[in-house]
């Protein structure tokens, strides 16, 4: 029984389904990556798991509870954090205010969490008074991840966290994500940079036209000749 599982999910935005019996599962302390060609339904699968899409079939379970009918806000309360691919920060607010908004639902004292997040992303501490919209692309992604961490989620979901950042920044971001995993968080992410993402992933799913095609450990997928040929560019 996985900690978070989107079980046999079927659904889409309109009449046509994008996902077909798609199953994605992630355990605590594990990084799971969803890869696949464009239009494979990777982001849709993430949205479905987070409740931003109505499912026609299948279920989403968190720690054994069926959460299929819960709103995204409810899922945040239950310990799920989501970092959207775009527009994932409050550009007119300072870095610190972004983090405060991340902790908006918390009524306890979250200064410890803020300190931990600043420890994980030291550059953000330095720039905590700066307007987030003025930061570089990589720093903005860090703000986005940090904002989601402020709820101390048990599951962190990232939709293409490295989109549009340089390879160096990407490596650093992956390092941070591994640190988050090592603290016992379940990390689920969609990645365009498939081979780099699979290299750090504990497990990976290859989606094609909304269906599971392959699922294995990250390294096994990287070594699989067919996966390499079809999706990783040789």
In whole angstroms, the minimum distance from the beta carbon of 33 to another protein comes to 22
CB proximity list for 75: less than 8 A, separation 6 or greater: 50, 51, 62, 67, 82
Q: Which positions touch another protein (CB under 8 A)?
A: 72-73, 76-77, 82, 84, 87-93, 97, 100-102, 104-105, 147
Q: Which two tokens stand for residue 141?
A: 């992604």
Of 130 and 195, CB closest to another protein = 130
CB of 87 to another protein, least distance (A): 6
Considering the complex, state which of residue 88 and residue 212 has its C-beta at the smaller distance from another protein.
88
Residues 148, 152, 157, CA angle at the centre, nearest 5°?
Answer: 45
Provide the minimum distance between the beta carbon of 101 and another protein in the complex, in angstroms, as a whole number: 5
The Cα 34–Cα 144 span in angstroms is: 19
Q: How far is the CB of 160 from another protein (least distance, A)?
A: 16
Q: Which is nearer to another protein, 93 or 220 (CB)?
A: 93
Distance CA 105, CA 76 (A): 9
Closer CB to another protein, 148 or 200, in the complex: 148
Strand stretches in the chain, DSSP E? 4-11, 19-26, 31-35, 55-62, 65-66, 80-83, 155-159, 186-190, 203-208, 211-217
Residues with Cβ < 8 Å from 217, sequence gap 6 or more?
201, 202, 203, 204
Q: Which is nearer to another protein, 91 or 136 (CB)?
A: 91
CB of 90 to another protein, least distance (A): 4
């Amino acid at each position: 029984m996985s900690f978070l599982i989107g079980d046999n999910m079927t659904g889409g935005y309109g009449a046509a389904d994008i996902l077909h019996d798609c199953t994605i599962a992630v355990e605590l302390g594990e990084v799971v990556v969803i890869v696949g060609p464009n239009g494979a339904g990777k982001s849709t699968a993430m949205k479905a798991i987070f409740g931003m899409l109505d499912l026609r079939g299948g279920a989403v379970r968190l720690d054994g509870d069926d959460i299929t009918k819960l709103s995204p806000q409810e899922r945040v309360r239950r310990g799920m954090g989501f970092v959207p691919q775009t527009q994932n920060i409050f550009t007119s607010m300072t870095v610190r205010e972004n983090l405060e908004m991340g902790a908006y639902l918390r009524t306890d004292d979250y200064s410890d969490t803020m300190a931990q997040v600043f420890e994980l992303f030291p550059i953000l501490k330095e720039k905590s008074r700066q307007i987030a919209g003025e930061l570089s692309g990589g720093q903005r992604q860090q703000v986005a991840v940090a904002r989601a961490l402020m709820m101390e989620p048990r599951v962190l979901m990232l939709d293409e966290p490295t989109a549009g950042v340089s390879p160096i920044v990407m490596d650093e971001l992956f390092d941070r994500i591994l640190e988050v995993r090592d603290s016992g968080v379940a990390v689920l992410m969609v990645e365009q940079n498939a081979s780099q993402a699979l290299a750090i992933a504990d497990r990976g799913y290859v989606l094609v036209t909304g269906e599971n095609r392959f699922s294995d450990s990250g390294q096994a997928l990287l070594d699989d000749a067919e996966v390499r040929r079809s999706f990783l560019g040789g």
